[in-house]
Amino acid sequence: MIFYLIRRVLYAIPISLAVSLVCFMLVHIAPGDPINAIVPPDAPQAVVEQIKHEYGLDKPLPVQFGLWLYQVSQGDLGRSLATGRSVWSDLRPATANTLRLAVTASLIGFVLGLILGGLAGTFRGTWIDRIATTFAVAGVSIPHYWLGMVMVILFSVTLGALPAMGAGPGGATDWAWDWAHIQYLILPAVTLSVIPMGIITRTVRGVVGEIMNQDFVNTLRGKGMLPRNIFLHVVKNAAPNALSVMGLQLGYLMGGSILVETVFSWPGTGFLLNSAIFQRDIPLLQGTILVLALFFVALNLIVDLVQTALDPRIKRS
């Protein structure tokens, strides 16, 4: 395990460098001039050139990348063009909010997917299987943003049961795990959970279907074990595969929640990215994308290690 961990960490270094290069290039090849977002159209050319020099935008792209990479290695993600604050000061609370939302949505999707997939795989070909499969297909087919708007209309506008926007009565800075704040989390978390729920359901259904045909299940049946206990054994054997899918889905939710966070005005990285894109805020865009990408790389490593620890049958070469 130690050698496997060291090897994976060493693999992550060139991947992280490649990710940083891709993040830098994708932001800079996008159309538009970032200076136009912070200076008026009639600004003197001398002022424009001075601002470009302050942010290093007057240098060639390879030099800009080298300077940016050096700053990132020192823990400095630069300053926002729009606000003038450090990128990290804006990114830190936004990352915490998105992580809170993504973890909650992943847990909801994981639990529902494990239950529905386990039932569908156990009772394959029955009406239970058809209902679970219908939920799974609907979950991966319905667009996030559309479902979010429907839930706002239903639960916020029509029923008035849950708030539609924001992260708490006092904003996201004073978050606490109480009902006053959790009610703001319910709608975006449920909206985000439908896709991982559908994917995990289909994954677990296939795995459980294979496990049900294995010899140890037939042995348990022959010994007279109750069906619900057999079901628990089957789900336990399917959990490592579901865990790996859940880890990937958590990474996708961290980086792919921009539309849902915009619909619900949830102050996370998706909402931050949306603002940075419209303001052409290059330092904020680069820093946010880089942090999300590195989080995904680290999450893959953690999932591999946890999966190996849970299932000793998995051998890492």
Q: What string of H, E and C letters represents the secondary structure of the chain?
A: CHHHHHHHHHHHHHHHHHHHHHHHHHHHCCCCCHHHHCCCCCCCHHHHHHHHHHCCCCCCHHHHHHHHHHHHHCCCCCECCCCCCEHHHHHHHHHHHHHHHHHHHHHHHHHHHHHHHHHHHHCCCCHHHHHHHHHHHHHHHCCHHHHHHHHHHHHHHHCCCCCCCCCCCCCCCCCCCCHHHHHHHHHHHHHHHHHHHHHHHHHHHHHHHHHCCCHHHHHHHHCCCCHHHHHHHHHHHHHHHHHHHHHHHHHHHHHHCHHHHHHCCCCCHHHHHHHHHHHCCHHHHHHHHHHHHHHHHHHHHHHHHHHHHHCCCCCCC
| Residue pLDDT, tens place only, 99-129 | 888 889 888 988 888 888 888 887 888 888 8
pLDDT tens, residue by residue, 255-279: 667 788 888 888 888 888 888 877 7
Domains delineated in the chain: 2-73 (no CATH), 93-310 (1.10.3720.10)
Sequential pLDDT tens for the chain (317 residues) = 677 667 777 777 787 778 778 777 777 776 666 666 666 667 677 777 777 777 777 777 788 888 878 888 887 888 887 777 888 888 888 888 888 888 898 889 888 888 888 888 878 888 888 998 898 888 888 888 888 899 999 998 888 888 888 887 776 667 778 888 888 889 999 998 898 898 888 888 888 877 777 777 778 777 777 777 777 777 777 777 777 777 777 777 776 677 888 888 888 888 888 888 777 778 888 888 888 888 887 887 777 777 666 666 655 54
Global pTM reads 0.79
